[in-house]
């Protein structure tokens, strides 16, 4: 009985180690791909595709945020995702305040009109905040296949949070780089293109 229990425990540990190694490899691959991309929209697409592939979520969106406004940067399995800026939903504000992945059974359409329209009849959502330099830059919102959102593995929540952190830092860096390029190519007083931009 002891030998059987030991072998079962060993097999479980080996399986968990394999999953963690695969999770880490996914994070490294995404980080490497994001380093080569400057456009935040392309970055959002890369991150969302990796998250959806890794965990087989049913639907997902990446929301970009600035000054309390939110815009859809990427979506999968979400038809007609509007890219018009809107006020950030209450659930996004809560995720940014807590700075942790929030499990949500269903969306209240009055408090979360943007997400409710993007993900109609959504059940068992995970909202991963993207925060860089203490400021919200967006969120990854995915729908889990589980019947009960409380049954989601801690490993999934942890890896989703790590994907969100990587995405937040890369998006912040892309925006800063674009700002520096803009400063280099335009006159600081008038905003008109300078000689460097024309060259």
- Whether residue 140 contacts residue 161, with contact meaning beta carbons closer than 8 Å, is answered with no
- Whether residue 138 contacts residue 63, with contact meaning beta carbons closer than 8 Å, is answered with yes
- Please determine, for residue 8, whether its predicted confidence score (pLDDT) is greater than 60: no
Q: Quick: pLDDT tens for 44-58.
A: 999 999 999 888 888
**Beta strand 123-132 pairing with 102-106:** antiparallel
- Please determine, for residue 186, whether its predicted confidence score (pLDDT) is greater than 90: no
**Longest pairwise C-alpha distance within the chain:** 80
Among 58-67, 72-81, 113-122, where is mean pLDDT lowest?
Answer: 72-81
Tokens of 173: 């860096």
- Whether residue 161 contacts residue 101, with contact meaning beta carbons closer than 8 Å, is answered with yes
What average pLDDT does the segment 75-97 reach? 85
Tokens of 87: 């006020």
- b vs e for 26-35, b when ≥16 Cβ sit within 10 Å of the residue's Cβ? bbeebbebbe
Kindly give the residue spans of alpha helices, DSSP state H, lying in the chain.
2-35, 40-55, 90-98, 113-118, 154-185, 195-198
Residue 186 DSSP one-character state: B
């Amino acid at each position: 009985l002891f030998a059987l229990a030991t072998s079962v425990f060993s097999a479980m540990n080996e399986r968990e180690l394999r999953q963690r190694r695969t999770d880490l490899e996914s994070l490294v691959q995404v980080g490497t791909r994001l380093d080569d991309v400057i456009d935040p929209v392309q970055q959002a697409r890369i991150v969302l595709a990796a998250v959806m592939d890794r965990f087989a979520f049913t639907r997902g969106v990446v929301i970009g945020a600035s000054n309390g406004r939110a815009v859809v940067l990427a979506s999968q399995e979400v038809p007609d995702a509007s890219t018009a800026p809107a006020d950030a939903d209450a659930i996004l504000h809560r995720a940014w305040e807590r700075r942790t992945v929030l499990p949500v059974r269903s969306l209240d359409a009055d408090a979360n009109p943007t997400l409710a329209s993007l993900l109609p009849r959504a059940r068992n959502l995970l909202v991963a905040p993207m925060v860089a330099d203490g400021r919200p830059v967006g969120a990854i919102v995915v729908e889990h296949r589980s019947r009960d959102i409380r049954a989601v593995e801690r490993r999934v929540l942890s890896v989703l949070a790590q994907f969100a952190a990587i995405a937040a830092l890369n998006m912040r860096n892309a925006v800063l780089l674009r700002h520096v390029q803009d400063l280099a190519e335009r006159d600081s007083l008038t905003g008109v293109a300078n000689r460097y931009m024309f060259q």
